[in-house]
Amino acid sequence: MRIASHHQAGTAEHKLSGLLTGNVQYTPTCAWPDDCTVQWGHGIIPSTPFFEAFPTGTFIRGEGPTIADAEVKAFAQFESEFSCRHLWGRQRPGRSIYLNGAGWCRKCGAFRGKMFAEVVELGHWRKPVTVWEADFLHSLETDAEMNAHMDRKYPADSKARRKNARILRLRMNLFGALQ
């Protein structure tokens, strides 16, 4: 397994997390795969001990009375996912149906962020921009500092942000803005 850098003494992340939340000493005990990153802590509100693992393509979180309990719970979930012949659907077990492409296994509850194509309502953009969207478009088109900051912070989203700006501009030109 790979221990998240904020748990490793000597790293900048460790120093920062020590200042923010206090470092929690813990040594994982389960047989996580080599390429699986893990992290743990006590949560903020409410202060629930948790253990999180990031096996390839997914994310597992366990909670419990102690971090050790949380890890055992997360590992049991990992093992049941690993041995499952998944049956994917858009419905989150016991919750609503997600249209953003996320999928859950109907048998073991495994989660994948990008299992399906996103469901998009046809013509959903054929309407005036809202006051909030007009503000946002203005920032996207004129605030170079904000754009540079967002690109640095979320480089993976920069293409989507530009596409969003083009769509908002088209809607504004074709359908106007709500007052």
Task: Write out the residues near Zn ion by the rule CB under 5 A.
Answer: 84, 86, 105, 107-108, 110
- Please name the amino acid found at residue 46: P
Residue 172 CA to residue 127 CA, distance in Å, equals 9
Report in angstroms how near the CB of residue 85 gets to Zn ion at its nearest. 7
| Cβ nearer to Zn ion, comparing 40 with 78 | 78
Report in angstroms how near the CB of residue 128 gets to Zn ion at its nearest. 44
Distances in Å between the Cα of 95 and the Cα atoms of 52, 87, 90, 126, 130 are 22, 17, 10, 30, 29
Residue closest to 169 by CA, chosen among 177, 160, 179? 177
Residues in the chain: 179
Report in angstroms how near the CB of residue 61 gets to Zn ion at its nearest. 17
| Cβ nearer to Zn ion, comparing 84 with 165 | 84
| Cβ nearer to Zn ion, comparing 42 with 106 | 106
